[in-house]
Amino acid sequence: MLEALTGTGLAASAGLNAYIPLLTMGLLARYSEVVNLPSGWQWISNGWVLAILVVLLAVEVVADKVPVVDHVNDVVQTVVRPTAGGLAFGAGSGAETVTVSDPGQFFGSHQWVPVVIGVLIALGVHGVKAAARPVINAGTAGFGAPVASTAEDATSVLFSLSAILLPVLVLLFLLLVPLFVIWVVRRRRRRRAERRAARAAREESMVEY
Protein backbone atom coordinates (compact mmCIF):
# COMPACT_ATOMS: atom_id res chain seq x y z
CA MET A 1 0.00 0.00 0.00
CA LEU A 2 2.84 2.41 0.78
CA GLU A 3 4.24 2.10 -2.74
CA ALA A 4 0.83 3.14 -4.10
CA LEU A 5 0.91 6.22 -1.87
CA THR A 6 4.47 6.96 -2.99
CA GLY A 7 3.46 6.74 -6.63
CA THR A 8 0.35 8.84 -6.03
CA GLY A 9 2.31 11.61 -4.34
CA LEU A 10 4.91 11.70 -7.09
CA ALA A 11 2.27 11.71 -9.84
CA ALA A 12 0.34 14.50 -8.12
CA SER A 13 3.59 16.43 -7.81
CA ALA A 14 4.12 16.02 -11.56
CA GLY A 15 0.67 17.48 -12.15
CA LEU A 16 1.95 20.72 -10.60
CA ASN A 17 5.45 20.61 -12.06
CA ALA A 18 6.50 17.87 -14.45
CA TYR A 19 10.19 17.91 -13.60
CA ILE A 20 10.40 18.23 -9.80
CA PRO A 21 9.41 14.63 -8.87
CA LEU A 22 11.64 13.08 -11.53
CA LEU A 23 14.55 15.30 -10.52
CA THR A 24 13.95 14.55 -6.83
CA MET A 25 13.98 10.79 -7.40
CA GLY A 26 16.99 10.99 -9.72
CA LEU A 27 19.07 13.06 -7.30
CA LEU A 28 18.18 10.93 -4.27
CA ALA A 29 18.91 7.73 -6.18
CA ARG A 30 22.23 9.02 -7.50
CA TYR A 31 23.62 10.73 -4.41
CA SER A 32 22.00 8.92 -1.47
CA GLU A 33 20.74 5.57 -0.25
CA VAL A 34 17.20 6.88 0.26
CA VAL A 35 15.92 5.66 -3.12
CA ASN A 36 16.92 2.49 -4.95
CA LEU A 37 15.33 2.63 -8.41
CA PRO A 38 14.33 -0.62 -10.14
CA SER A 39 16.48 -1.70 -13.07
CA GLY A 40 14.09 -0.41 -15.71
CA TRP A 41 14.04 3.09 -14.21
CA GLN A 42 17.69 3.69 -13.31
CA TRP A 43 18.06 5.99 -16.32
CA ILE A 44 16.34 8.67 -14.23
CA SER A 45 19.50 8.99 -12.11
CA ASN A 46 21.77 9.32 -15.16
CA GLY A 47 23.86 12.50 -15.09
CA TRP A 48 22.73 13.68 -18.53
CA VAL A 49 19.08 13.07 -17.71
CA LEU A 50 19.43 15.06 -14.48
CA ALA A 51 21.11 17.93 -16.36
CA ILE A 52 18.29 18.04 -18.92
CA LEU A 53 15.69 17.99 -16.14
CA VAL A 54 17.42 20.92 -14.44
CA VAL A 55 17.30 22.97 -17.65
CA LEU A 56 13.65 22.10 -18.32
CA LEU A 57 12.78 22.90 -14.71
CA ALA A 58 14.43 26.33 -14.99
CA VAL A 59 12.39 27.12 -18.12
CA GLU A 60 9.19 25.89 -16.47
CA VAL A 61 9.80 27.91 -13.30
CA VAL A 62 10.23 31.15 -15.26
CA ALA A 63 7.44 30.61 -17.81
CA ASP A 64 4.87 29.64 -15.20
CA LYS A 65 5.27 32.93 -13.34
CA VAL A 66 4.45 35.28 -16.22
CA PRO A 67 0.75 36.05 -16.87
CA VAL A 68 -0.48 34.91 -20.32
CA VAL A 69 2.77 32.96 -20.79
CA ASP A 70 1.66 30.71 -17.93
CA HIS A 71 -1.53 29.89 -19.84
CA VAL A 72 0.45 28.94 -22.96
CA ASN A 73 2.75 26.88 -20.76
CA ASP A 74 -0.22 25.06 -19.21
CA VAL A 75 -1.47 24.16 -22.69
CA VAL A 76 1.92 22.70 -23.62
CA GLN A 77 2.19 20.94 -20.26
CA THR A 78 -1.14 19.17 -20.83
CA VAL A 79 0.91 16.45 -22.51
CA VAL A 80 4.15 16.79 -20.55
CA ARG A 81 2.80 16.67 -16.99
CA PRO A 82 0.66 13.52 -17.37
CA THR A 83 3.57 11.81 -19.12
CA ALA A 84 5.88 12.78 -16.27
CA GLY A 85 3.22 11.63 -13.81
CA GLY A 86 3.14 8.19 -15.43
CA LEU A 87 6.91 7.94 -15.29
CA ALA A 88 7.02 9.19 -11.70
CA PHE A 89 4.35 6.76 -10.51
CA GLY A 90 5.95 3.85 -12.34
CA ALA A 91 9.42 4.57 -11.01
CA GLY A 92 8.34 5.61 -7.53
CA SER A 93 5.97 2.72 -6.87
CA GLY A 94 8.61 0.26 -8.09
CA ALA A 95 11.49 1.77 -6.10
CA GLU A 96 12.82 0.61 -2.78
CA THR A 97 12.84 3.54 -0.35
CA VAL A 98 13.25 4.14 3.36
CA THR A 99 9.55 3.34 3.81
CA VAL A 100 9.01 0.69 1.11
CA SER A 101 11.10 -2.47 1.29
CA ASP A 102 9.10 -4.73 -1.07
CA PRO A 103 7.82 -2.50 -3.89
CA GLY A 104 7.01 -5.31 -6.31
CA GLN A 105 4.38 -6.85 -4.07
CA PHE A 106 1.56 -4.35 -4.66
CA PHE A 107 1.39 -4.23 -8.46
CA GLY A 108 2.92 -7.61 -9.24
CA SER A 109 3.73 -8.19 -12.91
CA HIS A 110 1.35 -5.56 -14.29
CA GLN A 111 4.03 -2.95 -14.92
CA TRP A 112 1.80 -0.83 -17.14
CA VAL A 113 -0.81 -0.30 -14.41
CA PRO A 114 1.15 2.21 -12.29
CA VAL A 115 2.11 4.20 -15.40
CA VAL A 116 -1.52 4.57 -16.46
CA ILE A 117 -2.57 5.46 -12.92
CA GLY A 118 0.17 8.08 -12.76
CA VAL A 119 -0.94 9.62 -16.06
CA LEU A 120 -4.53 9.95 -14.82
CA ILE A 121 -3.53 11.41 -11.44
CA ALA A 122 -1.16 13.96 -12.96
CA LEU A 123 -3.74 14.88 -15.62
CA GLY A 124 -6.36 15.50 -12.95
CA VAL A 125 -4.06 17.70 -10.85
CA HIS A 126 -2.89 19.55 -13.96
CA GLY A 127 -6.51 20.18 -14.94
CA VAL A 128 -7.27 21.75 -11.56
CA LYS A 129 -4.10 23.86 -11.72
CA ALA A 130 -4.83 25.04 -15.28
CA ALA A 131 -8.41 25.92 -14.34
CA ALA A 132 -7.41 27.76 -11.18
CA ARG A 133 -4.70 29.93 -12.71
CA PRO A 134 -6.99 32.11 -14.92
CA VAL A 135 -9.22 32.69 -11.88
CA ILE A 136 -6.22 33.78 -9.82
CA ASN A 137 -4.84 35.98 -12.60
CA ALA A 138 -8.20 37.66 -13.20
CA GLY A 139 -8.78 38.25 -9.50
CA THR A 140 -5.34 39.79 -8.95
CA ALA A 141 -4.79 41.53 -12.33
CA GLY A 142 -1.96 39.09 -13.03
CA PHE A 143 -0.01 39.84 -9.86
CA GLY A 144 -1.02 36.53 -8.32
CA ALA A 145 0.65 34.44 -11.03
CA PRO A 146 4.19 34.40 -9.58
CA VAL A 147 2.85 33.89 -6.05
CA ALA A 148 0.62 30.98 -7.11
CA SER A 149 3.39 29.46 -9.22
CA THR A 150 5.89 29.66 -6.36
CA ALA A 151 3.37 28.01 -4.03
CA GLU A 152 2.76 25.26 -6.60
CA ASP A 153 6.48 24.63 -7.01
CA ALA A 154 6.95 24.47 -3.24
CA THR A 155 3.99 22.11 -2.95
CA SER A 156 5.42 19.92 -5.70
CA VAL A 157 8.73 19.66 -3.82
CA LEU A 158 6.87 18.89 -0.58
CA PHE A 159 4.75 16.19 -2.22
CA SER A 160 7.78 14.60 -3.85
CA LEU A 161 9.75 14.41 -0.62
CA SER A 162 6.72 13.31 1.41
CA ALA A 163 5.87 10.59 -1.10
CA ILE A 164 9.34 9.14 -0.73
CA LEU A 165 10.09 9.77 2.95
CA LEU A 166 6.60 9.73 4.54
CA PRO A 167 3.98 8.53 2.03
CA VAL A 168 1.20 8.50 4.66
CA LEU A 169 1.06 12.30 4.28
CA VAL A 170 -0.22 11.75 0.73
CA LEU A 171 -3.54 10.75 2.31
CA LEU A 172 -3.88 14.29 3.64
CA PHE A 173 -3.39 15.62 0.12
CA LEU A 174 -6.10 13.31 -1.20
CA LEU A 175 -8.49 14.84 1.33
CA LEU A 176 -7.57 18.42 0.45
CA VAL A 177 -7.85 18.11 -3.33
CA PRO A 178 -11.68 17.88 -3.43
CA LEU A 179 -11.92 21.00 -1.26
CA PHE A 180 -9.64 22.89 -3.63
CA VAL A 181 -11.64 21.71 -6.65
CA ILE A 182 -14.86 22.96 -5.01
CA TRP A 183 -13.21 26.35 -4.37
CA VAL A 184 -12.08 26.65 -7.99
CA VAL A 185 -15.51 25.76 -9.36
CA ARG A 186 -17.24 28.24 -7.08
CA ARG A 187 -14.79 31.00 -7.97
CA ARG A 188 -15.27 30.41 -11.68
CA ARG A 189 -19.05 30.48 -11.33
CA ARG A 190 -18.87 33.68 -9.29
CA ARG A 191 -16.63 35.34 -11.89
CA ARG A 192 -19.02 34.37 -14.68
CA ALA A 193 -21.99 35.72 -12.71
CA GLU A 194 -20.14 38.99 -12.09
CA ARG A 195 -19.30 39.33 -15.80
CA ARG A 196 -22.91 38.68 -16.78
CA ALA A 197 -24.15 41.23 -14.24
CA ALA A 198 -21.63 43.82 -15.45
CA ARG A 199 -22.62 43.19 -19.08
CA ALA A 200 -26.30 43.53 -18.25
CA ALA A 201 -25.65 46.76 -16.38
CA ARG A 202 -23.76 48.22 -19.35
CA GLU A 203 -26.50 47.24 -21.78
CA GLU A 204 -29.14 48.78 -19.50
CA SER A 205 -27.21 52.03 -19.17
CA MET A 206 -26.81 52.23 -22.96
CA VAL A 207 -30.54 51.73 -23.47
CA GLU A 208 -31.36 54.47 -20.97
CA TYR A 209 -28.89 56.80 -22.65
pLDDT over 80 at 91, yes or no: yes
CA atoms of 9 and 121, how far apart (whole Å): 9
Residue 191, exposed/middle/buried by CB under 10 A (0-12, 13-18, 19+)? middle
CA angle 183, 138, 156 (to 5 degrees): 55
Confidence of residue 76 (pLDDT cuts 50, 70, 90): confident
Non-local (6+) Cβ contacts of 19 within 8 A are: 53, 56, 57, 60, 84
Looking at residue 95, its amino acid is A
More confident residue, 97 or 89: 89
pLDDT value, residue 25: 92
For residue 64, pLDDT over 60 is answered with yes
Confidence (pTM): 0.78
pLDDT at 103 exceeding the cut of 70: no
Report the run of H or E that residue 73 belongs to, with start and end. helix 69-93
- pLDDT of 152 > 90? The answer is no
Which pLDDT belongs to residue 50? 95
pLDDT in tens, 165-189: 877 777 777 777 677 667 766 776 7
Residue, of 170 and 105, whose pLDDT is higher: 170
Question: Among the ranges 90-99, 127-136, 149-158, 188-197, which has the highest mean pLDDT value?
Answer: 149-158
Return the bridge partners of 96, or none: 36
Confidence label for 56 from pLDDT (cuts 50, 70 and 90): very high
Residue 58 has pLDDT above 90, yes or no: yes
